[in-house]
Amino acid sequence: MLHTFLTSFRLKNTYRVNSIIYSIKGLPIVNKILPSRLYQVHALKILANILSGIWEIIHTFLGKFLYLLLMIFFMLPAYQTDPANTFLHIFTFLTIAGALLNTYMFNPTKDKYYALILMNMDAKEYTISNYIYAMVKVVVGFLPFTIGFGYFNVAMKLPLWVSIVMPLFVVMMKTIFVFYYIKRYEKTKIAVNENLPTKASWFFLIICVALAYGLPWVGFVITPLFFLILFVLSLLVGIYSLYKVITFQDYKKLYRSLLTTTNVYAVQNANSTETIRKNIAKNIEYQENISSDKHGFAYFHDLFVKRHSKLLTKAAKKQSLAMIAIFIIIIMMCYAMPPLKEQLNNVTLTYLPYFVFIMYLLNRGTTITQAFFMNCDHSMLTYRIYRTPKVILGMFTERLKTLISINLLPSSILGLGLALLLYVTGGTDNVFKYFILFISINAMSVFFSVHYLVMYYLLQPYNVNTELKSSTYKVVQTLTYLICYFMIQIHLPTFYFGLSTIVFSVIYCIVSLIFVYRLAPKTFKIRI
């Protein structure tokens, strides 16, 4: 088993090294300096191996640290409950949710495909050894930070034994769900793909997240004693599950069912040509009477929007209806529970930065630009006339209008809802704050619309198979997410932050549009 593990580890490291070299080659400016035969450069391979080792350490420690910091620790000031118990409470329910969606064993990755399908390695030895290694990394990665955040943090002071068993609780929950998936496979002969959660899985996830963040809001959190009982139960069931996982014999058949090319390549890239075409085709309206009175590229884009109106606007309409329902419920609660008004009034007057992250989640820029590429640019960019500056800039203008109009639907409802909520909960002496709330939320929406479309035109990340190939695009995506997430921690007066948001959005849009008009004719092309 040790030999199998070492072989699989070297294989995974080789794949990772090649991916690092490919990513380095994909960076702007750097790709012109580095030689074309990059994979044969010995020094670069050494550097890539060093980076691979660093990544293994980062994956073991930094990810867990950021998870505890961003998902739990930074959320504690929002609650009035005991910080230690709240930390433990959120950790417990997020662990249960994460165990369902991330077992490691049922994640169809390329290194597993290479090892088990192409190299025909012993499936049981490979699975058990790599699963044990993954669980050891979970314990080693979490332990310093659960002790640091829980025990050594003066503000919390969780019992030491709780901080120590928290990582073990994670392992036990993952093992229980692995056993559940194995039993499910034995009955159905269909391997669960954790990258494609079912509706039931999403429902379970939503319930766990609601319990994690919602119960402390109403003053209920679990205690160390309750956690101890839960841990003992998970330990007993987890040990039994681990025994069943180790003694399971049909890993070869299981992985042949799971590690299909569709699962490994299409799901991992989340951009499979065939998969996306099927999904998009369901929402295309093939009607002969669809027409337009526009001309040129505006005519071409107008027909695209009309035929894909369901795909482009369906999510925005659902978001809008959901927000209307949420605001109605909140306003009804305000009249049913008058003390709630003061808290919500404070939220509307000081928590506007929080809505930067909400607008990031609501914005449909990524999905819509992917639809542009998949069902239009994927084919049209092969024609030279479509790559001329006039056509590119004309299509960009039309698309920007469409993207902004789609995203303004939910953002307008959100802005109006917040202004109405401010009025219902006691209002404000400064009447301009109502307008600032509405305008700033819509300014955020316009910002994200411009941001995603500019990213698409300047960094066009897809190749002919609609795989995401741009390292720079991924970096910008990650930075966008992190900046928006960190905005949750900022509490500023709505009036000043709203004005700043409006001014920033206007300046960003102007600068971005200048870059597009100058650079897009050179950058907007299909990647190799």
For every residue of 321-362, DSSP letters joined together read HHHHHHHHHHHHHHHH-THHHHHHHHHHHH-TTHHHHHHHHH
pLDDT < 70 positions in the chain: 15-45, 47-49, 51-52, 154, 261-291, 465-467, 528
Q: Which amino acid is at 205?
A: L
Give which of 507, 353, 361 is closest to 440, Cα–Cα: 353
3 state DSSP class of 119:
coil
3-state secondary structure of 477: helix
Query: Which residues are CB-contacts of 14 (< 8 A; sequence separation ≥ 6)?
Result: none
Nearest Cα neighbor of 345 from 499, 494, 501 is 494
pLDDT tens string 292-333: 777 777 888 888 888 777 778 888 888 899 889 888 888 888
Give the domain ranges of the chain. Answer: 61-265, 273-523
Strand partners, 527: 463
* Half-sphere exposure (Cβ direction) of 81: Cα atoms closer than 13 Å: 22
The whole-angstrom separation of Cα 512 and Cα 84 is: 45
Residue 485 · residue 66 · CB < 8 Å: no
Hey, what's the torsion of the CAs at 111, 112, 113, 114, to 10 degrees?
50
What is the structure's pLDDT at 23? 63
Give the per-residue pLDDT at 482.
Answer: 85
Q: How far apart are CA 7 and CA 137, in angstroms?
A: 18
Total residues found in the chain within this entry: 528
Q: Is 308 helix (H, G, I), strand (E, B) or coil?
A: coil
Tell me the pLDDT tens digit for each residue of 160-213.
999 999 999 999 999 999 999 999 998 888 888 887 788 888 889 889 998 998
- Give first-to-last CA distance, the chain, whole Å: 40
Question: What gap in Å lies between CA 221 and CA 84, rounded to an integer?
Answer: 10
Nearest Cα neighbor of 53 from 20, 88, 94 is: 20
| Nearest-angstrom CA–CA distance, 509 and 436 | 19
pLDDT value of position 270 = 43
CB-based contact 493:514 (threshold 8 Å): no
d(Cα 206, Cα 97) in Å, to the nearest integer?
Answer: 8
Integer Cα distance of 367 and 449 in angstroms: 11
Is the CA virtual torsion 516, 520, 521, 522 positive or negative?
Answer: positive
Looking up tokens 């450069």, which residue turns up?
A: 41
Q: Are 182 and 248 in contact (CB under 8 A)?
A: yes
Residue with tokens 């995506």: 477
Backbone angles phi, psi at 119, to 5 degrees: -95, -5
Instruction: Return the axis-axis angle of helices 296-307 and 309-336, rounded to nearest 10°.
Output: 60
